[in-house]
Chain A
Amino acid sequence: MSSEFASDVLHEWVVVVIDDEPDSLEVAQLVLEYYGADVKTAVNGADGLAAIRQYRPRFVVCDISMPVLDGWGVIREMQHDPALTHIPAIALTAHAMVGDRERALSAGFHSYLPKPLTPATFINDLFRLLVDIPEFKIALSPRS
């Protein structure tokens, strides 16, 4: 699926990635930048929320378990801020925390991706999720 998409398919898309684990953050950042996104990163929920308010990204990728302010806190703040409620947020959930997935959807996350992130799983899962978001569908047409 991944190679169906041109390397500039996310050109000029601002995306905020929030994760305290360096390896996951790096994979997400490299993948998104490969496809042309302008990636803003943060290593805790408080800094991530500040970045969301500053940059108003097209979408957010947010870990659940983080210091200072966790992913639940981030999505709660986004849901309570009329300027941010429309921004799709994708939760990163640990493979073992199956219960987090349903909770993530009911908390307001658009969807979730399992950790650990690898380029292969992240690219394929990310695009599968993004094309499900109606306002992204046309912009994400596979290359001919």
Chain B
Amino acid sequence: MTDLHSWNLLVVEDDPDGQEVLAHILGFHEIRHEIVSTAEEALERVKVTPYTAAIIDLQLPGMDGWRLMQAIRAVAGGVLPCFAITAYHSASLAVKAIADGFAGYIPKPFEAASFVRELSRVIG
């Protein structure tokens, strides 16, 4: 049985509506999380906090989600799985995200049960 309460997630999402939806889903499941708006903030956070996983919007201002994932891998190695989220879903984008190193891929709009199921698939 997955212990959601032991998770501590970093959410990197610049869109306020997206932040609200994610806070609602994670809050509903009582999953600990922090939300930041930029890749630069995220990189500072992962250096000081041992998160269980990072949820990263691919379309971020400044450093985008793809480069952030690579930067996190450089800092945290493979110990911090990164999940891509995007409003611009296509099957080819999903393939590229996984092949490039994201552990999971979750298109918007989110459905709470499948969102948590995808996280559980990787985090365990």
From B13-21, B24-32, B98-106, give the one contacting chain A.
Answer: B98-106
- Cα separation A125 to B74 with both chains bound (whole Å): 25
| Interface majority SS (helix, strand, loop, mixed), chain A | helix
- Cα separation A31 to B97 with both chains bound (whole Å): 11
Task: Report whether B99 and A27 are in contact in the complex, using a CB–CB cutoff of 8 Å.
Answer: no
- Cα separation A88 to B62 with both chains bound (whole Å): 46
CB-CB nearest in chain B for A27: B91
Q: How many residues of A contact B (CB 8 A)?
A: 15
Q: Mark each residue of chain A from 20 to 60: 1 if its CB lies under 8 Å from any CB of chain B, else 0.
A: 00010011001100110000000000000000000000000
Q: Mark each residue of chain B from 87 to 124: 1 if its CB lies under 8 Å from any CB of chain A, else 0.
A: 00001101111111101110000000000001001100
- Cα separation A118 to B104 with both chains bound (whole Å): 10
CB distance from B68 to the nearest CB of A (A): 15
Q: Mark each residue of chain A from 100 to 121: 1 if its CB lies under 8 Å from any CB of chain B, else 0.
A: 0000000000000000001111
Contact surface of A with B, Cβ cutoff 8 Å: 2-3, 7, 23, 26-27, 30-31, 34-35, 118-121, 123
